[in-house]
Structure 1
Amino acid sequence: MASDYHRPTRIPPGMFEGFVGGDDPATLSRVAHDTASAILSRVREDPDPVIVQRLITYTDEHGIDAIAELWSQSSAKSLPGALWRVYLLRTLIRQDPLGVSHAFQRGTEVSHTIDQVVAGAAIPAGPTEVQELADRILHGVFTGDFAVALERAAAFCRVVAAGFASLADDADAADAAHPDRPTELTQRALRLTQLADEFTSCARLWRRDALD
């Protein structure tokens, strides 16, 4: 029914930084934990391809705000917090695939780690490739090794962060017409680095059966 449809909500400039960098509440909502656990366990026990695809593309129809209402205030080191951050990363990529792919490509050039291999993106990675990678990571959350999916997300974030930091250096030297651009790129790099650390922590907790 038309009344059941919700237009996808775009993240306004700066909201990504606010979501990722905000303080976690001291007391977590039991509803967030229960829904995250129920969804993940139900799908992983019976990974129906149709249901998995609906979960991957859920925010395309309903908007990121639908997920935010459930999980965005949960601790970064919790199951709902981890799921929220994976959806948030996918939304960031889908809203700016060209910018993210450009940063990822730059990151592969300036980063001397195995992160680009762990992330699993095609090289060179254009807008289509980074969007496909985001979907594959979320698919792995529901059907594969959950910790590996989080580690891939972390690796991707680190490569993109390195790219944004390098682009910020370029902008600082050459883009006098947009003086705020270097700061914006640097802040995005810092938030992605933080996001990578949170994914890594969640992966470690999951392997110890301690991610609640």
Structure 2
Amino acid sequence: MHRDHPRPILQPTYSFDWIIGSDEPGAAHRLAQETSWALLDRVRQGADATVVERVVGLAAGSGIDDIAELWSHQGAHSLAGLLWRLYLLRRVAASDPEGTADLFRRGASLAVTIDPAVAGAAEPVTPTSISELCETILRGVFAGDLAVALDRASSYCRILSLGAADLADDRDAHDDAHAAQLTTRSLRYSTLAQELHGGARRWRDGTLE
């Protein structure tokens, strides 16, 4: 479903530092595209479970730091931008597993759509099951159907958006500042859901950059 993309030569960290700060127009954008497509192609073609686990594990450690600056500035119309969003979801869940699980439980109880079934979190929803869900979604990117993984992530974000909005309502009477933060978080998750859903559509129709 994806287009052919040139495979870049792997470069050391100092090369990334140089090109991020380069005055050459579009240099960082091109490198972000090349690294994301090369990573996806290499892991998929290898079909090695060990390699897949290593790539998924980047989200839980510092291994993604070299490319974080590149990918974090890419839009959701690109593979680099989508991969960054998926890694970000994994990092957020890892940094606050209890809070993320609480938001998911709240959102799932309010959902009137099939999003809980699409997201596919194991019951009962716990910090561990949420972490496992995020890893399963990432694993699906490299060892499954990318569009399905993006749709699952989109449903996951919609549920978290509902949960954050519900918690904001609870906090509103007691802590205005926290309620405002939660409302902002809800809007961000809603935006992520839309972006990931759009990415799944682009992957299917072959227009993902």
TM-score bin (small chain)? 0.7 to 0.9
Matched positions, count:
184
Is the CA contact 2:97–2:130 (under 8 Å) kept in the aligned structure 1?
A: yes
Q: Deviations over 1:160-194 (max 9, x none)?
A: 11011011001113x2xx33110011110000000
* Partner AA of 1:193 in structure 2: S
Aligned position for 1:12: none
User: Aligned-pair distance for 1:63?
Assistant: 5.7
Establish whether residue 71 from structure 1 lines up as the match of residue 71 from structure 2.
yes
- Counterpart among 177, 182, 188 of residue 180 in structure 1: 177
Aligned partners of 2:69, 2:53: CA distance in 1, in Å?
Answer: 21
Is the CA contact 1:121–1:133 (under 8 Å) kept in the aligned structure 2?
A: yes
User: Aligned-pair distance for 1:70?
Assistant: 2.6
Aligned partners of 1:204, 1:120: CA distance in 2, in Å?
Answer: 20
* Partner AA of 1:66 in structure 2: D
Q: TM-score, normalised by structure 2?
A: 0.84
Q: TM-score, normalised by structure 1?
A: 0.83
Aligned partners of 2:66, 2:192: CA distance in 1, in Å?
Answer: 20
Aligned position for 1:167: 167
Q: Deviations over 1:39-81 (max 9, x none)?
A: 1011111121111111111133316543422311112211100
Is the CA contact 1:105–1:124 (under 8 Å) kept in the aligned structure 2?
A: no
Establish whether residue 209 from structure 1 lines up as the match of residue 206 from structure 2.
yes
Aligned partners of 1:112, 1:64: CA distance in 2, in Å?
Answer: 36
* Partner AA of 1:111 in structure 2: A
Is the CA contact 2:59–2:90 (under 8 Å) kept in the aligned structure 1?
A: no
Aligned partners of 2:146, 2:66: CA distance in 1, in Å?
Answer: 22
Q: 1:98 to 1:67 in 2, by over 3 A?
A: farther
- Counterpart among 179, 186, 192 of residue 189 in structure 1: 186
Establish whether residue 131 from structure 1 lines up as the match of residue 131 from structure 2.
yes
Aligned partners of 1:207, 1:48: CA distance in 2, in Å?
Answer: 24
Structure 1 segments, 4+ long, off by >2 Å, are 63-67
Identity level (%): 47
- Gapped runs of 5+ residues in structure 1? 1-25
Alignment of 1:1-212 (within 5 A): 29-62=29-62, 65-173=65-173, 175=174, 178-212=175-209
User: Aligned-pair distance for 1:133?
Assistant: 0.2
Please state whether the residue corresponding to 1:29 is helix, strand or coil: helix
* Partner AA of 2:50 in structure 1: V
Report the aligned-residue RMSD.
Answer: 1.5
Aligned partners of 2:59, 2:119: CA distance in 1, in Å?
Answer: 22
